[in-house]
Every structure is written in structure tokens, then in C-alpha cells.
A and B are shown apart, each in its own frame.
Chain A
């Protein structure tokens, strides 16, 4: 199908975009980024915004900056840039690994970092990465700018802490030198949305596990952090069965929904197995990196 008619504007700056959003707030304007989720929804007429504000000409939102290992990524940075960037591979290898699993390259050529995070598909990779990395998400509106911790950003399926007049402008990732990382996922076919995905970060402290961060996608109503499993890992010996126990704890209490692709029970089983794999890989990489 084709979308119904809509007003379209392509501002060149963030401030122009923000004034358009506030000027037309009665009409509930929609921001257009890569369009790789929004336009399919519009073609299906599941979304029918009457006002579309296209951010593709806002060049100031398309950047990658790294200072002291701390990465800042503009919201309009294409997903394809992540996997090709040496800065990302070095500063946020978890993000580089996850980016390669988003859809296929032609989608990643247009799909953006900010779009994926703002869209908040429960099965999307980047929200889980943002959570595991303790990302800070910067939102701008006519009222100013605020910084939202990733842990307070994802509220439910396709629901975030962003207000209707806010634009996500950048994603800030803290430096994590020497940390082992892994993003693993199970999907039915190559390049499809994952049934379950796991982002893991693991630091060693002497011969013990120091800090661990673990986030899931596909296993709940939105991406989520599994802090109980993280606590269990902190201080544990990597040689024992801490990882196996953490995988059990991570899955306990989750009730993933059944859908056309898999039963909730199967997703739970996947969660256990993939948490285990993610932690094992992250541990091996942490040991390698010393």
C-alpha cells in the first residue's frame, strides 16, 4: 500500500526541527530518521502522521566523536557506519558487534542509531547495547536539553521516556577499557529481528570477575537489564559455575510472550542458553585483553 498524504518538511538544523515540532504540536508531528521502521508502518497505514519532520538534512546530528575513549554518537549516524568505524570497534566493540546483526546492509545504510533507540522495538539490538553500556541519551526540545540514562529510557514496547516534542540528539557511551564483551542472538533467518539477543560486558579484577553488565532484547516487553545476575557475577570466580548460575537467574522471573515466531517457553530457553554463551565469550575476551 501507499501512505496517505502528509505535510513534509526537511529542516537543516536541530533548532529548526524543534521549532517545527512545537509549531505543529497539535497535529502530533512525527520525526523521520532512516525511515526503515516508520515508512513500512506508513505504507501499511499502521502509522498515519499528518506532519512529517525529516531529519536527514540535519547534518549536525550525523557524527562520531571520541574523547578519552568516551564515544559520542549523533542520532542520525547510520547504523552501517558503526560496523565500519575503527573508533567504534576500539571504543565500543559491543556496539560494533551488535550493529552487524541489525537487519541487512541496505537497511543499515539508511537506518540510524537514534531511530533504532527511539523506536524501541523490543527485539532491537541497540537498546540492549545502550542499557549494557550505561549509555546516556540526550534529548532536545524547545524547553532545552536533558540527559536520560538508558536505564530510565525504555518503558515498554515501542515506548520511551521521550516527550512528543523531543528529539533524541546524541548517544553518549562511557569508556570501558579492557572489558570483555559479547553480543549474541538467535534469529529464525539471517538478518531478521532476533527472537532473543544478549549484550554482555565483563571486567576482571585479579583472578575474579569484577563488574558484569547484562542486557536482553526479545525476552520482555522492551530491552532490559538483568541486575540480579550481574550481582551474582560480581566477585565470583570465573572457573566455577557462576556463569551457568547467572544464566538461570537472568531467565528466572521473565515471561516472554508467545507470538507467531516462537512460544514464550522457547524464548525463555533461548535466553538461558544465549546468556551463558554471551558471558562465556565476554569472559574469554576479557582474559585475552589483559
Chain B
């Protein structure tokens, strides 16, 4: 609940919010109309989530909110107060790509890369639920995100390959008794 209920002008009404992004807590003041994607890009300087259509159609602004994919261009930052947001920046650790990113690299699951952050997070979300999907399931799952370049086939290939890498990583981790998971 914002502290400054209905102040003199809507412009001057600001909300203090605390949002956990990729495991790190951030406290900021935002205007009511601040879109979550602009908050991430301009206030937190996380440029991973892209802005395409700004009306919910293309999916390049996809982030995970409490583990579920949402369009950050049609969610206000003030609504993310108290939430856990995951952006594409969470996938790689330093220079080491996430297995899903490696698969996109090797299968050429991108050309210009504009849709890629959204595609990666949507695929990541899908694979959390279903680690071994078939091609039709992947195609259906990524239908929420538009790509103007690849024709989708290479993206489907990349997600299937990524799924395999993630499963291999998970079973290797289990075999070595490591508590570490591939998606950390």
C-alpha cells in the first residue's frame, strides 16, 4: 500500500517499493505510472528485458514474477512491491552461460537477438515444469513470444537441446552428491 494516498498532483504521488530482482533486494521511489520494464531498465540498469510493442503482444519484455512469466510492459513497478523478479541476467553466472543459453548459441536460436531475453525466460519457465518436453509442447509454449527473424524452428531446436543439457547437468549434480543445481 502506498504511503502517500492521494497527494496534490498525481505526479507528486510517489511510492517507496522494495523489489527483489535476481536475488538482490532494491528499494526505490517510483511514480504510479512507472512500468515494471522501465523500472528494471532505467532505475536498476538491467537492460535484459527489452521493450517491443508495449502492449502485451510480443513478449520480449518477459520476466518471471514469483516464478511465473509475465509481461513487464503491462505491469506497473509499484505492483511489484514485495515481489521476486527474475530477469535474463540471472541465467548466466559471470562469463559462464546457462546451459539453455549455450544451446541457443550452438543451435543458432537467435539472429538479431531482440526476442531472446523473453524466449530464454519463457523456455526456462517451461523446463522448470516439464524438463523433457516434445517439440510440439515447446512450440506451443513459446507461441506467447514473437520472433521476427528465425522462423522459430531454430528456437525450438535450441530449447530441446537446452532441456537435454539441463537434464544432464541435473543428473550429474545428483550423481556427484552436489547440492548445487544447474539453474542456480
A and B are interacting partners: yes
Known contacts A8-B15, A104-B143; A36/B9 CB under 8 A? no
Of the listed residues A8, A43, A80, the one surrounded by the most CB atoms of chain B closer than 10 A to its CB is: A8
The answer on a CB contact under 8 Å between B69 and A36 is no
The answer on a CB contact under 8 Å between A40 and B35 is no
> Shortest Cβ distance from A22 into chain B, in angstroms?
14
Q: Which residue of B lies closest to A5 (CB)?
A: B10
Per the bound structure, the CA–CA distance linking A83 and B121 in Å amounts to 22
Of the listed residues A12, A54, A56, the one surrounded by the most CB atoms of chain B closer than 10 A to its CB is: A54
The answer on a CB contact under 8 Å between B1 and A50 is no
The answer on a CB contact under 8 Å between A9 and B76 is no
Q: Which residue of A lies closest to B69 (CB)?
A: A106
> Shortest Cβ distance from A104 into chain B, in angstroms?
3
Q: Does A143 touch B at the CB level, under 8 Å?
A: no
The answer on a CB contact under 8 Å between A51 and B74 is no
The answer on a CB contact under 8 Å between A5 and B33 is yes
Q: Does B59 touch A at the CB level, under 8 Å?
A: yes
Residues of A within 8 A of B7 (CB): 7
B1-48 with Cβ < 8 A to chain A = 1-2, 5-7, 9-11, 13, 15, 31-33, 35, 38
Residues of B within 8 A of A190 (CB): 140, 143
The answer on a CB contact under 8 Å between A109 and B6 is no
Per the bound structure, the CA–CA distance linking A239 and B38 in Å amounts to 59
Partner of B33 from A6, A36, A40, A54 at Cβ < 8 Å: A6
Q: Does B71 touch A at the CB level, under 8 Å?
A: yes
The answer on a CB contact under 8 Å between A54 and B79 is yes
Known contacts A7-B10, A39-B75, A56-B79; A191/B15 CB under 8 A? no
Q: Does A35 touch B at the CB level, under 8 Å?
A: yes
Residues of B within 8 A of A265 (CB): none
Residues of A within 8 A of B15 (CB): 8
Task: Annotate B49-85 by CB proximity to A: 1 below 8 A, 0 otherwise.
Answer: 0000011100100100100111101111011000000
Known contacts A106-B62, A110-B70; A5/B143 CB under 8 A? no
Interface bin, chain B = 35 or more
Q: Does B98 touch A at the CB level, under 8 Å?
A: no
Query: Interface of chain B, helix or strand or loop or mixed?
Result: mixed
Q: Does A69 touch B at the CB level, under 8 Å?
A: no
Residues of B within 8 A of A80 (CB): 68
The answer on a CB contact under 8 Å between B79 and A5 is no
Known contacts A5-B33, A40-B56, A57-B1; A35/B143 CB under 8 A? no
Residues of A within 8 A of B68 (CB): 80, 106, 109
Partner of B13 from A4, A7, A40, A104 at Cβ < 8 Å: A7
Known contacts A109-B70, A110-B75; A40/B38 CB under 8 A? no
Per the bound structure, the CA–CA distance linking A51 and B13 in Å amounts to 11
Q: Does A232 touch B at the CB level, under 8 Å?
A: no
> Shortest Cβ distance from A79 into chain B, in angstroms?
12
A169-205 with Cβ < 8 A to chain B = 190-191
The answer on a CB contact under 8 Å between A106 and B59 is yes
Of the listed residues A12, A44, A104, the one surrounded by the most CB atoms of chain B closer than 10 A to its CB is: A104
Q: Which residue of A lies closest to B10 (CB)?
A: A5
Residues of B within 8 A of A104 (CB): 59, 143-144
Known contacts A35-B74, A50-B10; A191/B144 CB under 8 A? yes
Per the bound structure, the CA–CA distance linking A110 and B69 in Å amounts to 9
The answer on a CB contact under 8 Å between B59 and A3 is no
Q: Does A260 touch B at the CB level, under 8 Å?
A: no
Partner of B35 from A2, A6, A7, A44 at Cβ < 8 Å: A2
Per the bound structure, the CA–CA distance linking A3 and B6 in Å amounts to 18
Known contacts A2-B35, A106-B144; A9/B71 CB under 8 A? no
Task: Annotate A47-74 by CB proximity to B: 1 below 8 A, 0 otherwise.
Answer: 0001110101100000000000000000
Q: Does A273 touch B at the CB level, under 8 Å?
A: no
Residues of A within 8 A of B122 (CB): 106
15 more contacts with CB within 8 A, not counting A39-B56, A109-B68, are A2-B33, A5-B31, A5-B32, A5-B33, A6-B10, A6-B32, A8-B15, A36-B56, A39-B74, A54-B79, A105-B69, A106-B62, A106-B69, A109-B70, A191-B143
A-B contact pairs, 21 of them (CB 8 A): A2-B33, A2-B35, A5-B9, A5-B10, A5-B11, A7-B7, A9-B1, A9-B5, A10-B1, A11-B1, A12-B1, A35-B79, A36-B56, A57-B1, A105-B144, A107-B71, A109-B68, A109-B69, A109-B70, A191-B143, A191-B144
